[in-house]
């Protein structure tokens, strides 16, 4: 396992948000966490990134191990810069007051190796030619779809080992959504492990290898993505069939 989460309990103030969830992600996989609003999907990702409260939850107990290292010992920027885990946050969270190019540069903040940055930049612009065209534009002038691309591009720049994505399909037109998932598949094939949180279970299960169903802070189901898509309960609750 590349990432191993065991009996994780976290909460906001006195309220516990995750009641001891256990799941794992193997090297090279695309794993998805699906579930309704408030199931704890974003909470799980923010816990892994070690983001501080009040936006993110407070860690209570349980294990989070990445490549044999205890994540609870890392500060958020070290999770990114030392372990190579990146998060594409819900709502994109691009820096609208910076240019597209500056958004990528700040994502390379912790990198020293210029050649490595150049290589990554080339890869990013290869996948997202629109961003290269607009690199001198302020990021808040981009369309919603382009902002999502920029958010993914930033995550590619910071990390490389593993990418977490929080609702990347939100607010995207269907064709843009498929374009995005196509790119994610390519990023995965180039060697980045992906943990994907989605409300759109249909598309998530289509692209993922494995999936977990999260409900009110507990893991309800887990399994091969294709099997899950056929599961009666999943079909009824998340695929609307």
Partner 1 sequence: MTLSIFIQNVMNALQWGSFYALIALGYSMVYGVLLLINFAHGDIFMVGAYIGFFISTFLLGAYGFQLPWKLSGGLVIFLTFLLTMALTAGVGVAIERVAYRPLRRKGVSRLYLVITALMVGLLLENGNLALLGASRRNFPELIPKVLYSVGGVNFSNTKIIVIIVTLLVFVFLQTVVLKTKWGMAMRAISYDRMAVPLMGVPVDTIIVMTFVLGSSMAAVAGILFAVSYPVLEPYMGALVGWKAFIAAVVGGIGEIRGAIAGGFILGFTEIFVATVFPSTFRDLIAFGVLLLILTLRPNGIFGIARRTKV
Please tell me the distance from the alpha carbon of residue 10 to that of residue 42, in angstroms, as a whole number. 12
Q: Is 86 in the site for partner 1 (CB under 8 A)?
A: yes
Binding of partner 1 by 11 (CB under 8 A):
no
Residue selected from 43, 158, 169, 192 as contacting partner 1 according to rule CB under 8 A: 158
DSSP state of 17: E
Among 16, 102, 222, 227, binds partner 1 (CB under 8 A): 102
80 binds partner 1 (CB under 8 A): yes
DSSP one-letter code for 74: S
Closest CA to 21 of 11, 13, 36, 30: 11
User: Could you tell me if 63 and 4 are in contact, meaning their C-beta atoms sit under 8 angstroms apart?
Assistant: yes
Among 63, 77, 119, 236, binds partner 1 (CB under 8 A): 77
User: Is residue 191 a contact point for partner 1 (CB under 8 A)?
Assistant: no
Binding part of the chain for partner 1, among 26-34, 69-77, 123-131, 179-187 by CB under 8 A, reads 69-77
CB atoms within 10 A of CB 155: 24
Stretch in the footprint of partner 1 (CB under 8 A) among 77-85, 178-186, 189-197, 220-228: 77-85
Please name which of 8, 11, 81 lies closest in space to residue 53, comparing C-alpha atoms: 11
Q: Which residues bind partner 1 (CB under 8 A)?
A: 49, 51-55, 75-77, 80-81, 86-87, 89, 93-98, 102, 105-107, 109-111, 154-155, 158
């Amino acid at each position: 396992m590349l990432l191993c989460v065991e009996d994780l309990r976290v909460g906001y103030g006195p309220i516990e948000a995750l009641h001891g969830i256990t799941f794992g992600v193997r090297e090279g996989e695309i794993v998805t966490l699906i579930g309704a609003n408030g199931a704890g999907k974003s909470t799980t990702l923010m816990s892994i990134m070690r983001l501080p409260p009040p936006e993110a939850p407070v860690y209570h107990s349980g294990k989070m191990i990445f490549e044999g290292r205890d994540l609870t010992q890392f500060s958020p920027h070290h999770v990114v810069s030392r372990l190579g885990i990146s998060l594409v946050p819900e709502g994109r969270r691009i820096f609208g007051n910076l240019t597209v190019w500056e958004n990528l540069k700040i994502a390379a903040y912790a990198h020293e190796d210029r050649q490595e940055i150049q290589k990554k930049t080339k890869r990013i612009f290869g996948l997202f030619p629109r961003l290269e065209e607009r690199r001198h534009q302020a990021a808040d002038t981009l369309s919603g779809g382009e902002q999502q691309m920029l958010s993914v591009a930033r995550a590619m720049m910071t990390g490389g080992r593993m990418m977490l994505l929080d609702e990347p399909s939100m607010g995207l037109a269907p064709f843009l959504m498929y374009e995005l998932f196509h790119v994610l598949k390519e990023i995965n094939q180039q060697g980045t492990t992906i943990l994907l949180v989605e409300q759109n279970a249909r598309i998530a299960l289509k692209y993922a290898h494995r999936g977990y169903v999260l409900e009110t802070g507990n893991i309800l189901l887990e399994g091969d993505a294709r099997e899950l898509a056929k599961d009666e309960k999943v079909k009824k609750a998340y695929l609307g069939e």
